[in-house]
Amino acid sequence: MTIVHHGNRGWLPAVLLAAVAAWGLMGSAAWAALAPGYLRCEFRQNPLGIDVTQPRLSWELQSAQRAEKQTAYQIRVASSLERLLSGRVDLWDSGRVASSGTAHLVYAGRPLASGDRAWWQVRVWDRGGRASTYSPPALWSMGLLKPSDWKASWISLENSAEPDAQKHVLPPSPFLRKAFTLPKPVRRAVLYASALGLYEMHINGLRVGGDQFTPGWTDYRKRVYYNTYDVTRYLSQGRNALGAVLGDGWAVGYVGLGGRERYGVGRPRLLAQLQVIFTDGTTQTVGTDRTWRATEGPIREGDLLMGEVYDAARELRGWDTPGGSDAGWQPVTVHASWSGAVEAYPGVTVRKEMELAPKSVKEPKPGAFVFDLGQNMVGWARLKVKGPAGTRVQLRFAEMLNPDGTIYTTNLRGARCTDAYLCKGGAVETWEPRFTFHGFRYVELTGYPGRPGRDAVTGVVLTSAAPRSGSFTCSSPLVNQIQHNVEWGQRGNFLEVPTDCPQRDERLGWMGDAQIFVRTACDNRDVSAFFTKWMVDVEDAQRDGAFTDVSPAVAGGQGTAAWADAGIVIPWTLYQVYGDTRVLQRHYAAMDRYIRFMEEHSSNLLRPAEGYGDWLSINANTPTDVLATAYFAYSTDLMSRIATALGKSDDASRYSDLFDRIKEAFNRAYVSPDGRIKGDTQTCYVLALHMGLLPKELESKALDYLVADIEAKGWHLSTGFVGTGYLNPTLSRFGRTDVAYRLLNQTTFPSWGFSVNQGATTIWERWDGWTPERGFQDPGMNSFNHYSFGAVDQWIYGTVAGIDTDPQTPGFRHILIRPQPGGGLTHASAAYRSIRGLISSSWRVTGKGFDLAVSIPPNTTATVSVPASPTAKVLEGGKPAERAPGLRYLGRKEGVALYEAGSGSYRFQVR
């Protein structure tokens, strides 16, 4: 049977897709002006093995008509696709529900048990009361919901070689297998798999799925995730074989800023359970137990930071097939239990996203060939080689080159970042690693037999596979490259957790970086599931009420201003962007504990002068007590809004009162009567303005001080990690978009454009990571792929292109389209796939005036701000916009004409 991959590990048999088409369900609605599609469960398409017993369902709407809206919906859910399509619904039929809701509709049907499948579809009614046809069907399935559902045991190969930490000699990767017999034809088979470490599962000679680095990174002492795969196509009646390869990963191997075995695991362990349902309805379970066998194989070392060594001569032929031999293999060690809970993986797995071919190959030293991929990336290199048996080819990785053309590796610190391949000899051999990743643009090949061609190396790009949600382009090549660099920084650093850098011996989930970048992250990718998973890590790491500096917590401190505040800022942002109240509910108690921690660790509501401050600012020392107290106020204000969103009115009042008192203390301690703020830095004024900490009468003065400082520095910013993300949005919010554009267009140091002019293809950690005068900055902390300063992308989407959600109606129910042209740009375009559908904004300055094209998804409304002078005519479709269908004229103010727009596409012309 042909299998069509549908979403993240979801599978739909091709014959059933054909049946769906025959029912006429793959096309658009037959009667209504609306058509539902892009069905998701818990933010994901066709997720398998979830453990949310009341999952939330969402869909998008399509319509060719303006001002179209959904007035009702009907969801139906069945235990099989055949039942769903024939109308014999046995799990849930919501009936017709009068509602415009399309996101986070909670399943309210028959309780689902472990392993149950739920096929579902939805139909909707348009504004005229006409029903659509049902959507194409979607699927979710349940995981193993009770500990007793696990019949398998944790197993490992314990008696392999001991690692030599001094020489970075690491233990080989275990290979494990079990042959078994299936006595009957198979109807369905599901594999549940986890590891303390990393795993790769095989069945009958085939690798299962395309996920990398499963089951992901957690605080394994508290929880470890498992993944679920439909493996029906891999199995057949008769003899079969299960196989697994294990890697050290985060649980066993080197983890940033520390050594190995941080979680007390010792050797990687496997937990796997195969559930088989035969055509006659009977079942069989095959799980990890003492009957499995294990051995070492060709992967001699495999570590995320150090690299991977592969000896092809040690390959195990047929090891994962029924006919393979395990003679000489060892019995596995069975472990009674593990302290952490075993739970279904809630996020998006790491996957291969693309491949990069080298742009050039050079030989700066004899025998050392340097491949330039043209793009700083995260992943690994695929090697193609032909050489005598035993030939050792070494690959080293770097982001930059030394002046002599050799690779610059000093900034990698303790990360070896070296792979090696030992040829088995004979034909051309192709290899890529399994259990490591690197951050690099350049690959150095040594030991290669002969002179390698350009095809000897291919860059394989990895990322947590969050769907693309946004795109932006404009008339400025500089700004387009900045956007490109932001996207690639996010692609490389959003790998299981939001890492600070992908190359050196760190790669940690630093909280401050994540909270300042989270809104930009949402613009570029659908990070709803990604951050849903990571927020569990954040709460798991909480200590005595304080959120930690990094999550999972393997380094750093806790309670640090602007870093710990990620525990509140990120859930609030997810609510704003996706309308997700469940993430607020789940982490509400943890957020409340953090507010109480800050109250207890403050003096007269002023936070102490400690922490990282405005990290990596440029000659601008923002006092840490000013910054810390500002964030104390900000998080408290957000908690008041969160409590309001959850209907906790008493809490909302308590937090609001606390915010007012912190604000008063902030002004009394740090703000002069003339509006000067202690420290007198750009970040001081940006934080005070952005967070609403100043009396209204002082805001204009603070803005003047901010702009004056930027001008005094030659129209350059001086902000660090904390201030940069808020800088341009704050300037625009208070009417100085002209200054924001000057900063965006700046090309001399320090600026985004400066790094672009030095050839940057990702965002740098430091404004001065490399300068012509000084060369490389301090190699102790100098990453050339670090997303934090890329937070300007929030402003590019929200102000240059002009797409944002109305903060009063989270989740893009009401959209703000308010582009602010400037900076010499002649056109700009962006598209954003929101939780409710695709939004686009495209403007162009023409010889006749100004054109703005806008698209609003069905079932939403938008306030469109069209730049226009008081005397300019605004046309839509060639006619006065005031009389255009789907638009309501709201008047003019501050250089814009305002319109309330229903869904649909509009083209405004200002003449």
Angle of helix 477-493 relative to helix 737-745, nearest 10 degrees, comes to 80
559-618 per-position pLDDT tens digit: 999 999 999 999 999 999 999 999 999 999 999 999 999 999 999 999 999 999 999 999
Cα 908 from Cα 768, distance rounded (Å): 43
Is residue 20 predicted with pLDDT exceeding 70? Answer: no
* Under 8 Å between Cβ of 507 and 500: yes
Q: What is the residue-averaged pLDDT of the chain?
A: 95
Share of the chain above pLDDT 90, in %: 94
Among 28-32, 313-317, 393-397, 482-486, the minimum mean pLDDT is found in: 28-32
Q: Which residues contact 853 (CB under 8 A, 6 or more apart)?
A: 840, 841, 842, 843, 905, 906, 907, 908
For residue 388, the tally of other CB atoms under 10 A from its CB is: 10
Listed residue (733, 547, 697) closest to 635, CA to CA: 547
Q: How far apart are CA 648 and CA 122, in angstroms?
A: 32
Q: Residue 8: is its pLDDT beyond 50?
A: no
Kindly indicate the confidence band of residue 160, based on its pLDDT and cuts at 50, 70 and 90: low
Give residue 256's pLDDT.
Answer: 87
State how far the Cα of 754 lies from the Cα of 752, in Å rounded to an integer. 5
Query: What confidence tens digit (pLDDT) does each residue in 636-655 have?
Result: 999 999 999 999 999 999 99
28 vs 862, more confident: 862
CA distance 597 to 564: 11
pLDDT tens per residue, range 515-561: 999 999 999 999 999 999 999 999 999 999 999 999 999 999 999 99
Calpha distance 858→855 (Å, rounded): 10
The per-residue pLDDT for range 886-908, each reduced to its tens digit, is 999 999 999 999 999 999 999 99
Q: Which of the four pLDDT bands, split at 50, 70 and 90, describes residue 159?
A: confident
Mean pLDDT calculated for residue range 364-383:
98
| Crossing angle (nearest 10°) for helices 682-690 and 624-645 | 20
Q: What is the pLDDT of residue 257?
A: 84
Q: What b-and-e string marks burial along 39-64, b requiring 16 or more CB atoms within 10 Å of the CB?
A: bbbbbbbbbbbbbbeebbbbbbbbbe
State how far the Cα of 195 lies from the Cα of 182, in Å rounded to an integer: 25
Instruction: Decide: 573 and 520 in contact? Cβ < 8 Å.
Output: no
pLDDT of residue 166: 55
Residue 30 has pLDDT above 60, yes or no: no
Question: Residue with structure tokens 């350049």?
Answer: 442
Closest CA to 760 of 475, 374, 438, 369: 374
DSSP states of 740-805:
HHHHHH--SSSSHHHHHHTT-SS--SSTTSEETTTEE--GGG--S---GGGGGHHHIIIIII-EEE
Query: In a 10 Å sphere around its CB, with 0-12 CB exposed, 13-18 middle and 19+ buried, how is residue 403 labelled?
Result: exposed
Cα→Cα distances 718→87, 617, 706, 743, 765, Å: 63, 6, 11, 11, 14
Q: Residue 161: its pLDDT value, please?
A: 60
pLDDT > 60? residue 19? no
Q: Dump pLDDT digits (tens) for 692-746.
A: 999 999 999 999 999 999 999 999 999 999 999 999 999 999 999 999 999 999 9
Q: Which of 776, 759, 857 is nearest to 817 (CA)?
A: 857
Q: Identify the bridge partners of residue 287 per DSSP, sorted by sequence position.
A: 273
Residue that has been written with the tokens 């032929």 in this structure: 317
Residue 713, C-beta contacts closer than 8 angstroms, at least 6 positions apart: none
Question: Which residues, 6+ apart, have CB-to-CB distance to 894 below 8 Å?
Answer: none
Q: Judge whether 138 and 48 are in contact, CB under 8 Å.
A: no
**In angstroms, how far is CA 30 from the centroid of its own chain?**
37
Whether a cis peptide bond, with omega within 30° of 0, leads into 750 is: yes
Query: What is residue 66's DSSP assignment?
Result: T
Report how far Cα 714 is from the mean position of its chain's Cα atoms.
36
Query: What Rg do the C-alpha atoms of the chain give, in angstroms?
Result: 28
CA atoms of 637 and 663, how far apart (whole Å): 10
Provide CB contacts within 8 A for 573, sequence distance 6+. Answer: 518, 519, 522
Position 29 pLDDT exceeds 70: no
pLDDT of amino acid 781: 93
pTM for this predicted structure:
0.95
For residue 435, the one-letter residue type is F
Neighbours of 86 (CB within 10 A): 11
> Encoding tokens for residue 773?
């005068």
At 164 the pLDDT is: 59
Strand 814-817 versus strand 429-431 pairing type: unpaired
pLDDT in tens, 188-212: 999 999 999 999 999 999 999 999 9
806 pLDDT above the threshold of 60: yes
pLDDT at 881 over 60: yes
Can you give the pLDDT at residue 798?
Answer: 98
pLDDT tens for residues 754-770?
999 999 999 999 999 99
pLDDT classification of 169: cutoffs 50, 70, 90: confident
Are 793 and 841 a contacting pair, CB within 8 Å? no
Q: Report whether the peptide linkage leading into residue 452 is cis, meaning its omega lies within 30 degrees of zero.
A: no
So which residues are the catalytic ones? 506, 765
The predicted pLDDT at position 175 comes to 98
Q: What is the mean pLDDT of residues 614-627?
A: 97
Average pLDDT over residues 368-390: 98
Q: Could you tell me if 252 and 573 are in contact, meaning their C-beta atoms sit under 8 angstroms apart?
A: no
Q: Write the pLDDT tens digit of every residue in 103-119.
A: 999 999 999 999 999 99
Which of 102, 97, 100, 94 is closest to 126 using CA atoms? 100
Question: Which residue matches tokens 């992908």?
Answer: 502
Dist CA 598 CA 608 (whole Å)? 10
Task: Compute the distance between CA of residue 796 and CA of residue 501 in angstroms, rounded to an integer.
Answer: 23
Number of C-beta neighbours around residue 502 at 10 A? 27
Which H helix or E strand runs over 843?
strand 837-845
